[in-house]
Amino acid sequence: MTIDLKLENGKLLIEDQLVPAEIGIDNGSIIKISRIVHEHADERVDLKGNIVLPGLVDVHVHLRDFKLSYKETLETGTMALAAGGVTCAVDMPNTLPPVNSYRTLVKRIDEAKGRLHVNVLFSAFPSKRDILKLVTLTYFFKIDFSRTYFLDFNPYNERELSEVFSKVSSETIVVAFHAEDTRETGGSWPMKASAETSAVKYILNWLVKFMNQHDGALKAHICHVTLPSTVKLILENKRKLKNLTMEVTPHHLLLSKRHLGKFKSVAKVTPPLRSSHTRRRLLRYFSKGLIDIVASDHAPHALTEKAEDVTKAPPGIAGAETMLPLLLNLVNKGVISLSLVKRVLHDAPCKLLGLKHDIYEGSRAHLTIVDMKARWKIRGEDLYSMSKLTPFEGVTVKGIPSITIVNGMIVMRDRVVYENVKPGEVINEWRRKDTVS
Ligand code: NCD
């Protein structure tokens, strides 16, 4: 038998141990994992001792497209993800037009077919009017407490919030919260730390009541936490709320206000970068394994927009390509373990999304292969994202993704993303099929 692809001379990470292994892939799936795979293969790749991780998942990206294609397209955004070793991502709904109706979500899904380098789940803003139809196409909803105008209800009104979700409450539905309370400090950037604290308190308080009434249904996910106190608050509430997770971004772990001074608009982001003291404590919490997920919050903007003064430029950092290298660099520095990287970029995201990306015979071949010895100097101009800007400009990292495999196909090798290889699937389609059958 001749199979499609054989990965030779690799290492698998199994419970903190690196185990030599070869992987045989055929028809998009892993068919053999063994010390030596004897089958002949059309293509053989010598991994030279590189480590094979299950395909990594980024639960927070803004792929733009639609009328914001001048910032990023589905093609360039998913190329950036592939370059960063990400095999699957959740797209955020603050597009133009926003994905806050069934019609727009259908359009988003239909337009994505055949254009994706990695798998994508398209999320939506919940809508009082369309919620029952939206759940036939997505199970990931976003509520942005700093931009409530995307919604057709007031999320600061507990009754209205409960009304929307009581119609669809189920343990497969994820609600992701951007927790910055505009009532606290007004909506202008940068919102104070107290805006995060206030929103998180409001959300947790609502969740406890809602979950009690609805038997623990819904998965609640707090996006981009920036304060150690927020982490503590969420950890305390995990006892009461079983499906509660939080995410942190690499920029909040590694950059502080000081970088805003240096990189100006390029480092402008929401929530804003905090003091170096806060950042260091957040990193300590993360390195202790207290934060569930790392996500990039990849939020690209055009060069001309970011050339504006920091007060006028739009907030957002294009982080899809730098997330994994920055974490691998922390592994090489001894700050975190590779197992933690796998936990925060694979295990917990997959659990949140209900995905099976583990490496086993019979699984779909979504793989992220990393070279822990290679160095890479981060330069905006080398990014696949249309936004050629990064506040990590000039930083040299040790440890990079060397190959990204999606649905059995190599989409990136040695930092080259194959423009014509687009095996990415729209995850929403799986749900559509499930609903139809
Ligand atoms: C996001 C974007 O640009 O879409 N920007 C960001 O700084 N995170 C939107 C947002 O969440 O503010």
What would the pLDDT profile of 185-234 be if each residue is shown by its tens digit?
Answer: 777 889 999 999 999 999 999 999 999 998 878 999 999 999 999 999 99
Q: Look at phi and psi of residue 49 and say left if phi exceeds 0, alpha if psi is from -120 to 50, else beta.
A: left
How confident is residue 72, by pLDDT bands cut at 50, 70 and 90? very high
- The answer to whether the Cα torsion of 234, 238, 243, 246 is positive or negative is positive
Please provide the size of the chain in residues: 437
190 lines ligand 1 (CB under 6 A): no
Q: 187 CA to middle of ligand 1, Å?
A: 13
267 lines ligand 1 (CB under 6 A): no
User: Does residue 67 contact residue 400 with C-beta atoms inside 8 Å?
Assistant: no
Pocket test of ligand 1: the residue of 146, 266, 270, 387 to mutate, having most ligand atoms within 8 Å of its CB, is 270
Tell me the C-alpha distance between 51 and 370, whole Å: 5
Specify the ligand 1 atom closest to the Cα of 62.
4
Looking at residue 435, its pLDDT comes to: 52
Q: 302 CA to middle of ligand 1, Å?
A: 13
Q: Taking all residues of the chain, what is their mean pLDDT, rounded to a whole number?
A: 96
Q: Of the given ranges (145-159, 276-290, 327-341, 418-432), which has the lowest mean pLDDT?
A: 418-432
316 lines ligand 1 (CB under 6 A): yes
Q: 338 CA to middle of ligand 1, Å?
A: 29
Look at ligand 1, atom 5, and give the residue with the nearest C-alpha.
316
397 lines ligand 1 (CB under 6 A): no
Q: Of the given ranges (197-206, 234-243, 296-305, 425-434), which has the lowest mean pLDDT?
A: 425-434
Pocket test of ligand 1: the residue of 94, 144, 146, 177 to mutate, having most ligand atoms within 8 Å of its CB, is 94
Tell me the C-alpha distance between 351 and 344, whole Å: 11
Looking at residue 65, its pLDDT comes to: 98
240 vs 296, residue with greater confidence:
296
Specify the ligand 1 atom closest to the Cα of 268.
7
Looking at residue 437, its pLDDT comes to: 34
Q: 435 CA to middle of ligand 1, Å?
A: 32
Residue 56: is its pLDDT beyond 70? yes
62 lines ligand 1 (CB under 6 A): yes
Q: Greatest CA separation found in the chain?
A: 65
268 lines ligand 1 (CB under 6 A): no
Q: What is the pLDDT of residues 351-367, one digit of tens each?
A: 999 998 899 999 999 99
Percent of the chain scored above 90 by pLDDT?
Answer: 92
Q: 24 CA to middle of ligand 1, Å?
A: 40
State if pTM tops 0.85.
yes
Looking at residue 242, its pLDDT comes to: 86
SS3 312: coil
Question: Around 208, how many Cα atoms within 13 Å sit in the side-chain half-sphere?
Answer: 11
Looking at residue 385, its pLDDT comes to: 98
**Where do we find the tokens 């609903």?**
435
Amino acid letter for position 122: F
251 lines ligand 1 (CB under 6 A): no
The angle at the Cα of 75, spanning 71 to 81, to the nearest 5 degrees, equals 90
Catalytic residues: 297
Q: How crowded is residue 169: how many other Cβ atoms within 10 Å of its Cβ?
A: 18
Q: How crowded is residue 276: how many other Cβ atoms within 10 Å of its Cβ?
A: 13
60 lines ligand 1 (CB under 6 A): no
178 lines ligand 1 (CB under 6 A): yes
Q: What is the pLDDT of residues 357-416, one digit of tens each?
A: 899 999 999 999 999 999 999 999 999 999 999 999 999 999 999 999 999 999 999 999
Look at ligand 1, atom 6, and give the residue with the nearest C-alpha.
316
Looking at residue 124, its pLDDT comes to: 98
Residue 179: is its pLDDT beyond 80? yes
Specify the ligand 1 atom closest to the Cα of 178.
11
Tell me the C-alpha distance between 175 and 181, whole Å: 17
254 lines ligand 1 (CB under 6 A): no
